């Protein structure tokens, strides 16, 4: 297998550079086609291993849900595996397994994806199954299916949130960060009450509105030939009628109100969550916010990691990340106290470090370190056909260009010290939502300090 990679047909054209100055070129080759019914097909050939993945994005997520039906996009994702006209339940999973393939799906605020992974021979089956549920899902949909997957989804919620320490924070943050009615003002998983309320009619409405070829993109990546993929996709998907034009939510601009909340939970150690309103993924400030997150907590020697965990020794762990979504974004710093430490102590250190970064900016060494680490993580991201396929779909949805790898990397590499100072001042010193999770009966451990104003 080692030599086969030499003739990888330019699947990934890379010219490694010397030194830290520049610049690996990342190019993921692709073809882009659109069927008359609006379905977009992106194919990426990578012949290094005889495997294939299909990755379908429907451009609908929890942000498209109606009030009173939170969690519905995710519940619907589960129902997509419950059988269609020509592949009645439970054939979807059974046929794929019999071909050596696995599958899954996931839902975010902005999109729902479905993917299969297996030997290259399983591609026709993957596409046939995806087409059948895109075109012929509803006639077999009934209340028992909805009730069953409602139970499964509620169990998922219990396992991931309610039975996890700190898990309920995921319910608390969105409605404090975003105004009522904003598409991101509820947790993707939704509430138990809303899940209980979902009906078969809701399922049918949702499918007719959002699960149409003109709202979907399919990426096929792996050991395939683009013309064969095109022929298969045309054969399986062409009969699916175009759906109605889709109205996207367009939330109004807003300002976060400074908020503090305390959650008493079954935890041994207190944890503080600090959240700021930032910018959407295509905003020009987003790359600087992502580099700022790395400078703050991306490595052992990052500023907060040093000040809280290894130098200051008041926390056991700290994370920082900018979650830039299609319509809006938010930045989080999450720190867990060491035994005996109160969250006020952690909050003081975090405030000081943010002020220092805003005042002085990162050093050249910090910036170079962040750039190199981020570039290496890009390389790791293109090691698998699954990673490339999902990213092609992501870039296409966000920018219209599937091969956005190098562009995103260039934007991250172009971030300057002044950019970091600017975005820290602009976003991370303004109003914030602060959640303290403390052991039950110990509210005195919560963070209480007022925001430091400049």
* Cα 109 to Cα 72: distance, rounded to the nearest angstrom: 11
- Closer CB to another protein, residue 205 or residue 265? 265
- Closer CB to another protein, residue 51 or residue 417? 51
- Closer CB to another protein, residue 278 or residue 391? 391
* Cα 150 to Cα 155: distance, rounded to the nearest angstrom: 9
- Closer CB to another protein, residue 23 or residue 197? 23
Q: Please name the residues in contact with 390: beta carbons below 8 A apart, sequence gap of 6 or more.
A: 55, 113, 115, 219
Minimum distance from residue 156 beta carbon to another protein (Å): 4
* Cα 118 to Cα 126: distance, rounded to the nearest angstrom: 9
Distance of CA 391 to the CA centre of its chain: 10
Minimum distance from residue 39 beta carbon to another protein (Å): 11
Sign of CA dihedral 359, 363, 367, 369: negative
Minimum distance from residue 357 beta carbon to another protein (Å): 17
* Cα 120 to Cα 202: distance, rounded to the nearest angstrom: 37
- Closer CB to another protein, residue 239 or residue 258? 239
- Closer CB to another protein, residue 387 or residue 443? 387
Minimum distance from residue 119 beta carbon to another protein (Å): 5
Distance of CA 339 to the CA centre of its chain: 32
Find the Cα–Cα–Cα–Cα dihedral 359, 363, 369, 375, rounded to 10°.
Answer: 60
Minimum distance from residue 162 beta carbon to another protein (Å): 4
Are the beta carbons of 332 and 432 closer than 8 angstroms?
no
Minimum distance from residue 311 beta carbon to another protein (Å): 9
């Amino acid at each position: 297998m080692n030599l086969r990679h030499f003739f990888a047909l330019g699947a990934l054209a890379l010219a490694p550079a010397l030194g830290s100055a520049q610049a690996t070129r990342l190019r993921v080759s692709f073809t882009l086609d659109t069927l008359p019914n609006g379905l977009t097909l992106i194919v990426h050939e990578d012949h290094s291993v005889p495997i294939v993945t299909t990755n379908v994005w429907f451009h609908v997520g929890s942000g498209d849900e109606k009030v009173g039906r939170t969690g519905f996009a995710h519940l619907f994702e589960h129902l997509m595996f419950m059988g269609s006209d020509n592949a009645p339940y439970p054939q979807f999973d059974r046929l794929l397994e019999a071909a050596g393939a696995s599958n899954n799906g996931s839902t975010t605020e902005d999109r729902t994806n479905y993917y299969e992974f297996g030997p290259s021979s399983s591609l026709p089956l993957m596409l046939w199954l995806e087409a059948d549920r895109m075109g012929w899902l509803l006639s077999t949909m009934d209340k028992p299916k909805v009730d069953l997957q409602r139970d499964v989804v509620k169990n998922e919620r219990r396992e991931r949130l309610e039975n996890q320490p700190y898990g309920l924070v995921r319910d608390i943050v969105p409605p404090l960060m975003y105004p009522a009615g904003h598409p991101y003002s509820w947790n993707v998983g939704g509430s138990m009450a809303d899940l209980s309320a979902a009906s078969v009619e809701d399922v049918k409405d949702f499918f007719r509105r959002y699960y149409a070829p003109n709202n979907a993109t399919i990426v096929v990546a792996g050991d395939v030939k683009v013309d064969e993929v095109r022929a298969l996709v045309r054969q399986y998907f062409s009969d699916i009628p175009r759906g109605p034009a889709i109205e996207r939510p367009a939330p109004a601009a807003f300002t976060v109100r400074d908020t503090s909340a305390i959650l008493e939970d079954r935890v041994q150690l207190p944890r503080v969550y600090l959240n700021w309103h930032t910018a959407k993924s295509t905003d020009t400030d987003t790359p600087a916010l992502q580099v700022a997150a790395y400078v703050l907590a991306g490595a052992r020697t990052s500023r907060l990691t040093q000040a809280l965990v290894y130098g200051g020794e008041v926390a056991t762990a700290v994370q920082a990340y900018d979650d830039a979504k299609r319509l809006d974004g938010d930045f989080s710093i999450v720190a867990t106290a060491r035994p005996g430490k109160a969250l006020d102590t952690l909050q003081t250190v975090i405030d000081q470090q943010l002020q220092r970064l805003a005042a002085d900016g990162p050093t050249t060494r910090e910036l170079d370190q962040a750039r190199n680490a981020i570039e290496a993580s890009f390389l790791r991201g293109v090691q698998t056909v699954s990673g490339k396929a999902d990213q092609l779909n992501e870039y296409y949805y966000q920018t219209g260009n599937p091969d956005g790898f190098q562009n995103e990397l260039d934007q991250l590499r172009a971030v300057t010290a002044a950019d970091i100072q600017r975005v820290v001042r602009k976003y991370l010193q303004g109003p914030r939502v602060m959640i303290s999770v403390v052991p039950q009966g110990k509210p005195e451990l919560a963070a209480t300090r007022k925001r430091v104003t400049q």
